[in-house]
Amino acid sequence: MADEKKAFEVEIITPERIFYTGEATMIEFNTTEGEIGVYPDHIPLTTVLAPGVVTITNGEDVKEAAVHAGFAEILGDKVTLLAEIAEWPDEIDEKRAEAAKERAEARIAAKAADTDMLRAEFALRKALVRIEVKH
Domain boundaries, the chain: 8-89, 93-134
Architecture of domain 93-134: Up-down Bundle (1.20)
Model's pTM, two decimal places? 0.81
8-89: what CATH class?
mainly beta
13-55 pLDDT per residue, tens: 999 999 999 999 999 999 999 999 999 999 999 999 999 999 9
3-class secondary structure per residue, the chain: CCCCCCCEEEEEECCCCEEEEEEECEEEEEECCEEEEECCCCCCEEEEECCEEEEEEECCEEEEEEEEEEEEEEECCEEEEEEEEEECHHHCCHHHHHHHHHHHHHHHHHCCCCCCHHHHHHHHHHHHHHHHHHC
Residue 1: its pLDDT value, please? 39
